[in-house]
Structure 1
Amino acid sequence: MVVLSRSEKLAILADAAKYDASCASSGSVKRNSLKSGGIGSTTGMGICHSYAPDGRCISLLKILMTNYCMFDCHYCINRTSSNVRRAAFTVQEVVDLTLDFYKRNYIEGLFLSSGIIRSPDWTMEQLVEVARKLRVEHKFGGYIHLKTIPEADPDLMTEAGRYADRLSINIELPDDRAIAAYAPEKSGKRIRKTMATLGHRIGEAKAERKANRKAPLFAPGGHSTQMIVGADPSNDAKILTTSSGLYGSYGLKRVYYSAFSPIPDASSRLPVAAPPLIREHRLYQADWLLRFYGFTVGEILEGGEGGHLDLAIDPKLAWALKNRGGFPVDLNRADRETLLRVPGLGTKGIGKILSARRFGALRLGDLERLVQSVRKILPFVTLADWHPGGRLDSLSLRARLMPPAEQMELF
């Protein structure tokens, strides 16, 4: 057996963790360890590994405990039948790495996942022990995100929530048939049951904190999941319908989308090529519309064909072009819900518009000062000194509002 150095393990297990997208750190809170001589912060700036919704850069040490795994999920490079170089950290090695990287100002937190070895319970115990040591023994106040294992004992999930800022349970595929076909050791029903239990416990903890600010924290950043895009034949309609159901039924904070990457020695069930990255990007845009803009899945898919989003333009613009009868919108009179439907207008820009128009009628110059770009907005709105005229009905409007070719080439 080859003995690997810590740096060799880090190279292998950091690379193996890159396939897990669910590591954003929105929802973190300040812990009290700094006041009691502890270390770690969730609010500083450092190496950017992910972004919070407010734009803060959150640096995370993102690794696996091990890339050994007893499961044989066809889409996973770390599956038991995969011929990859294997490595494993001990609990103490992960704790030491996290503290060393923090003290060097490389990171502000930890995202920890793992392949499943020995048993789901044993693996989950290792993950929880890392978080416990950091929080209890080292008073670490930084961000911790643990990838949980739905097959593990519920008591271990409860313990994980005591120490982690966020927990994630990756469903990976959008329906039970796909899960059974591509991840035979997993159960969609079991995954959803664990999500429900976590969601209920997080809700209880929030209620307890409202009643008593000294009540213990429990995964204050909520829980999230990930779906792989393009590993199975599911279309965007199926993916978004599943996401909408997860948000509504289990209170998930985020669904992350990860474009499938072809892997060595792949199963014949898997596609030979990766889907275009723009598809992943459009799903994130559609997900945003579901969560913050009041759109339904049916509305979002109006602009696409065959159950897929339009890859050439963003889903809000695609919907607006299909529903031109609802435009133009008067920016001086429309309510917030109507403004949310205007292409090019985000929630921050809408807030500025609602505030500014209380002091007088908005004109084109005012809009240019309130938002970053008016190019996409102008064909769909009116102002005191602006009307789009025939622009809205122009057959070439879609072509004129498409992103530049060089921007699309980034995907």
Structure 2
Amino acid sequence: MKLKQKLAILADAAKYDASCASSGTVKRDSSNGSGVGSTSGGMGICHSYAPDGRCISLLKVLLTNFCIYDCSYCINRASSPIERARFSAEEVVNLTLDFYKRNYIEGLFLSSGIIQSSDYTMEQLVRVAKTLRVKHDFRGYIHLKTIPDASPELLRAAGIYADRLSINIELPSKRALQELAPEKNPKTIHQSMGTLQDHINEAKEHKADKEIGSRRKKKAKFDYSPAGQSTQLIVGADPSTDAKILTLSHGLYQRYKMRRVYYSAFSPIPHSDQQLPSMPPPLMREHRLYQADWLLRFYGFNVNEITPIGNSTSADANQPNTNQPEAHQMLDLDIDPKLAWAIRNRDLFPVNINTASKEMILRIPGVGVRGCEKIIQARQFRRLRIGDLSRCGLSAKKVGPFIETADYNPHNKLLTAADLKAHFMQPKQAQQLSLF
């Protein structure tokens, strides 16, 4: 099979993996005349566009779409009647270098189906990264999908040469994973995530010790997975609620310091298993989960505040109240989760932005992290008025129903919860089609 034909097959097979961001790593470049590539953008980095409109800056491919596993939701499963292809490690290395030198990419995202064994597949992935780093002094971005069942030695080697590692947990519940991907073991996945995090922590401690020490030792050529680890959850392939998905994500962030949890709406595939839904979930559900994920990570919310389960009696605020109806554990698709929370807790508003705490200002719909910082900085010098909102980068129309300033108080025209929802809902538009 010709290289171009392999690339067409294996690049298309990789499109279902959403977790290919290239942020958070250390800066490396070849401006001093040695090495190839850069992680800091600038000259030599540009973006190309796929036929479906996606902006891509990483060469995103599978090493092979052959797989010994038969996961029901995967297009590359063993029983799938698709065209198969396989790169050699040297072919992936050459493609990466050639594409980079032509300014098509800024790095490599490499995953693979499982062939022969987990260790054999992982060894091939590591071989690509090691060859790029050691033989060609490649300084661009490398993201490797790691195989959970691979040996700890191979997992450790992967992080030496890759900027980011990821292990896809795939499905939110153990039961769904056992039914749809019986070869995968949830316990092994979590153990491998823990192993990766132990190596990342060890590297950070070693780096800190070197910086504190009186004698400056030569810095290691590569840190261990400096951009951390990430994972991906498929949404809509099983009946898991949004509350369950967000609870799992919160646990991953807490236990393994996960850099990102990516959400991918299930896309029906040809010749799929009868257990899988025939229709994909609304793409808006995926979008709302990303918004909720942001609230968990940066805005101080917990799961029971984000999912509309009201006055939960759950002992743990980040555990879903399973006594609530299933519909009450789903995010509102009509409005964003922060606005939905504010409407359900109307009694907490309006918030006086001249006296409120940072935590409360962050909970005002329409106020982001930067907007909150600007409010706190500006109110040190004067009492803020409604006209000052635009200077803080805020929209008075969006935040008006929820705030109080020196010259503005919405008490006399306080909107009810139903009125607020109608006020902020966008008019119905044609639904976006799935890219796949």
Q: Same fold (TM over 0.5)?
A: yes
What are structure 1's unaligned runs of at least 5 residues? 51-56
Hey, what does 1:7 align to over in structure 2? Answer: 4
Hey, what does 1:43 align to over in structure 2? Answer: 40
Letter in 2 for 1:397: L
- Tell me how far apart the structure 2 counterparts of residues 274 and 228 of structure 1 sit (CA, whole Å): 11
Hey, what does 1:97 align to over in structure 2? Answer: 95
* 2:153 is aligned with 1:155: yes
Letter in 1 for 2:123: E
- Tell me how far apart the structure 1 counterparts of residues 414 and 82 of structure 2 sit (CA, whole Å): 55
Residue pair 1:25, 1:58 contacting (<8 A) in 2 also: no
Q: Indicate the SS of the match to 1:281.
A: helix
What are structure 2's unaligned runs of at least 5 residues? 212-218, 311-326
Hey, what does 2:117 align to over in structure 1? Answer: 119
Hey, what does 2:286 align to over in structure 1? Answer: 280
- Tell me how far apart the structure 2 counterparts of residues 24 and 41 of structure 1 sit (CA, whole Å): 15
- Tell me how far apart the structure 1 counterparts of residues 386 and 56 of structure 2 sit (CA, whole Å): 37
How many residues align? The count is: 401
Q: How does 1:3-402 map to 2 (within 5 A)?
A: 4-31=1-28, 34-35=31-32, 37-44=34-41, 45-47=45-47, 59-213=57-211, 214-215=219-220, 216-302=222-308, 305-394=327-416, 395-402=418-425
- Tell me how far apart the structure 2 counterparts of residues 360 and 81 of structure 1 sit (CA, whole Å): 68
Deviation at 1:127, TM superposition (A): 0.5
Deviation at 1:303, TM superposition (A): 6.6
Q: Deviations over 1:167-210 (max 9, x none)?
A: 00000011211111110100000000000111111111111112
Deviation at 1:148, TM superposition (A): 0.3
| Change in 2 beyond 3 A, CA 1:22/1:193 | same
Q: Deviations over 1:261-300 (max 9, x none)?
A: 0000000010000000000000000000111111110000
Q: Indicate the SS of the match to 1:317.
A: helix
Q: Deviations over 1:299-349 (max 9, x none)?
A: 001279431100000000000000011111111111111111111111011
Deviation at 1:244, TM superposition (A): 0.8
- TM-score normalised by L of structure 2: 0.89
Identity fraction in percent = 60
Residue pair 2:61, 2:110 contacting (<8 A) in 1 also: yes
Deviation at 1:363, TM superposition (A): 1.5
Out of 426, 430, 433, which is 1:403 matched to? 426
| Change in 2 beyond 3 A, CA 1:365/1:49 | farther
- Tell me how far apart the structure 2 counterparts of residues 350 and 358 of structure 1 sit (CA, whole Å): 13
- Tell me how far apart the structure 2 counterparts of residues 58 and 27 of structure 1 sit (CA, whole Å): 17
| Change in 2 beyond 3 A, CA 1:12/1:335 | same
* Structure 1 runs of 4+ with >6 Å offset: none
Q: Indicate the SS of the match to 2:334.
A: coil
Letter in 2 for 1:336: K
Q: Indicate the SS of the match to 1:302.
A: coil
- Tell me how far apart the structure 1 counterparts of residues 31 and 118 of structure 2 sit (CA, whole Å): 34
Letter in 2 for 1:139: D
- TM-score normalised by L of structure 1: 0.94
Instruction: Provide the aligned C-alpha RMSD in A.
Output: 1.8
Residue pair 1:73, 1:183 contacting (<8 A) in 2 also: yes
Of 295-304 and 357-366, the range deviating more from structure 2: 295-304
Residue pair 2:30, 2:38 contacting (<8 A) in 1 also: no
Residue pair 2:149, 2:188 contacting (<8 A) in 1 also: yes
| Change in 2 beyond 3 A, CA 1:179/1:27 | same
Residue pair 2:122, 2:146 contacting (<8 A) in 1 also: yes
